Chain A
Amino acid sequence: MSESIAPARPVALETQDMTTGYGEVNILHGVSTRVHEGEMVAIIGPNGAGKSTLLRAIFGLLPAREGTVHLHGDNVTGQRPDALVPKGLGYVPQVDNVFPSLTIMENLEMGAFVRRNGLAERADQVFRLFPDLAGRRGEVAGRLSGGQRQMLALARALMLDPSVLLLDEPSASLSPKMVGMIFERIKEINDGGTAILLVEQNAREALSVCHRAYVLAMGENRLEGAAQDLLDSEEVGRLYLGA
């Protein structure tokens, strides 16, 4: 499942020459990425490459010092989450990604906060993707297992049916069995039409479900290509995938 859907579909999300950082230091130096509608794109690379920073900059959690972000053609650079979410952009942080004292259902309600109606139907649709959660909608999120929590984090972000979803290391701190399951879910979400931009440490798993990928290192674009090509590439394998 790693054919590239390249130029056939319009661009859903695009960053150009994104440069930003924290304090005096820049983490990203002119990073450009592109996600087409319905596509799943991975961003892989070594530690400290700035992968998570890129997502944060796209989602307006970090001001962009240089460069732009375009969502469906509109320039949304620097806009904050409450402006981006209604436009169809979703984000799942790596940690602290559920509301622990709220129930599963309430977590979903928060995901759909900006839209006041159609909550129940949408929740049912989302629960179909995550049947494990459906049976426990009254349970408090803090009591869920790691895997269940990660699923809830995804479910919350799906409540507004985003056209583009940003995922920050969805498999982090999950057991190997759970990792497989999470990626299955992510694939299902993508199959449903949602474009996904995925930052992952677990490069092999990411490349096996995505269409395309970017390799980032030291805050710069290094490689780009169809996921299968990158998986096959010896250079990538040596440098970034481990033996």
Chain B
Amino acid sequence: MATIEAQPIPRSEQWRDYRRAAGAWLIGPGLWIIIGAFMVWAVFAERDAFVVGVVAGSIFALGALGLTLIYGVLKFGHFAHGDMMMLSGYLAFLFLSGFIVGEKPGDQLTILPVTVNDLPGADDPIWKFSFGYGLWVAMILAGAAMAVILVGLDRFVYRRLRVRKSGIVIFSIAALGIAIATRATILFFWGPSPRLYYPGIRERVDLPFDVSLLADQLFILATALVATAVVYWLLFYTRLGKAMRAMSDNPDLARVSGINTDRIILQTWIVAGALIAVAGVLLSLQVQLDPELGFILLLPLFASAILGGLGNPVGALVGGLIVGITQEVAVTLDLPLLGDVSAGYKFSVAFLILILILLVRPNGLFGAKV
């Protein structure tokens, strides 16, 4: 057979190949390098903001984890996630203090006969925290309550839509309606003024390497770590967790294997409820209890989940941390022309991260499963 002579590749095509390769490299490993470089710089240049960012990021990670689990198993965007987190924070407050807002502003009405704060020593601050073991108890109760609420909502709303095989957007619209109603519920019972679990000065803790945090923030980090570890154990070492991941991959095949998908869905909501409650209480501890926070919280939550790759639990963790750190560091910056970036822009930073990742790598850092 005659051989075909190899044609030399024309210059213009060579350049095009180089550019394509460079682009692919930038979106792939290049992106990691840019993020890594930013993180390293932030650790040295804006250490305090970096540390706060890690704390905030761990809260976003927990929230995004719940969000991404719901995306994976239930296949829709849970736009009520932020408001549910806030509701959990308020429920914990209710269990602790028994208060709702009374008739006149400033009034408080006790509606629970017995509250967690009534337990002996429950509100005695532990170590340097601003709270006692009461907060843990309240968090657990809030988790249980949230699980019940979510299972109930699934039964009365989402399941009906599943049976009807509605499109994903319909689910999201229903979730938005629920978000609106949730915010209104918070306002109804606790009024519009922000509040704290335990008012008063919060103690700082000094750690090596010039790191200084509030003691409460240390608690937040530790709790987030524990919660994350528990969820990972659940997802990778238990039958339920594997079934959740299986449903996330391929719900039809899960059904075909004889898995009772309705039960897994229910259990997913319970896990999500627990995650939402922990994240919500931690958020309320970090910032404050504020009815208006829930909706715009969706911005960092979705940004984290999408940045990591929708449906990917590892992605949610990394995404949350990146978003948290970037938000906190960005508002310390003094940009040329634009001047100071005010703190009010924090969540808009999350939005910009979202747009960037959608432009450059829509499947996220670890690959989307949904």
Contacts and interface: CB of A to CB of B under 8 A. Distances in A.
Interface string A88-100: 0001010011111
Query: Which range holds the interface residue count of chain A?
Result: 20 to 34
A15 B248 CA distance: 33
A156 interface: yes
Interface in B133-161: none
B333 to A, nearest CB: 38
Interface in B226-273: 239, 242-243, 245-246, 248-250, 252-261
A59 B252 CA distance: 12
B264 to A, nearest CB: 10
Contacts of B255: 80-82
A92 to B, nearest CB: 8
B239 A93 contact: no
Contact of B258 (A85, A99, A100): A85
B312 to A, nearest CB: 8
A116 B259 CA distance: 12
A102 B242 contact: yes
A45 interface: no
A100 B370 CA distance: 12
Contacts of A111: 257
Given A99-B250, A100-B249, A101-B249, A91 B239 contact: no
A102 B246 CA distance: 7
B258 A86 contact: yes
Contacts, number: 65
Contacts of A99: 245-246, 249-250, 253-254
Interface residues of B, number: 19
B98 to A, nearest CB: 43
Nearest to B262: A82
Given A93-B252, A96-B250, A96-B252, A101 B245 contact: yes
A106 B245 CA distance: 10
A37 interface: no
Contacts of B248: 101
A46 B341 CA distance: 68
B369 interface: yes
Contacts of B369: 101
A169 to B, nearest CB: 15
A99 B247 CA distance: 9
Nearest to A111: B257
Given A102-B242, A109-B242, A113-B243, A82 B259 contact: yes
Nearest to A119: B239
Contact of B249 (A81, A84, A91, A102): A102
Contacts of B246: 99, 102, 106, 110
A160 interface: yes
B253 A59 contact: no
Contact of B253 (A97, A101, A109): A97
Interface of B: 239, 242-243, 245-246, 248-250, 252-261, 369
- Please provide the 5 A-B residue pairs with the shortest distance between their CB atoms, ordered closest to farther: A85-B258, A99-B249, A114-B258, A99-B246, A110-B246
24 contacts: A61-B256, A80-B255, A81-B257, A82-B258, A82-B261, A84-B258, A93-B252, A93-B253, A96-B252, A97-B253, A98-B250, A99-B250, A101-B245, A101-B369, A102-B245, A106-B246, A110-B242, A110-B246, A110-B257, A111-B257, A113-B243, A113-B257, A113-B258, A114-B258
Given A59-B256, A160-B258, 8 more contacts: A81-B255, A81-B258, A85-B258, A100-B250, A102-B242, A106-B242, A113-B259, A114-B259
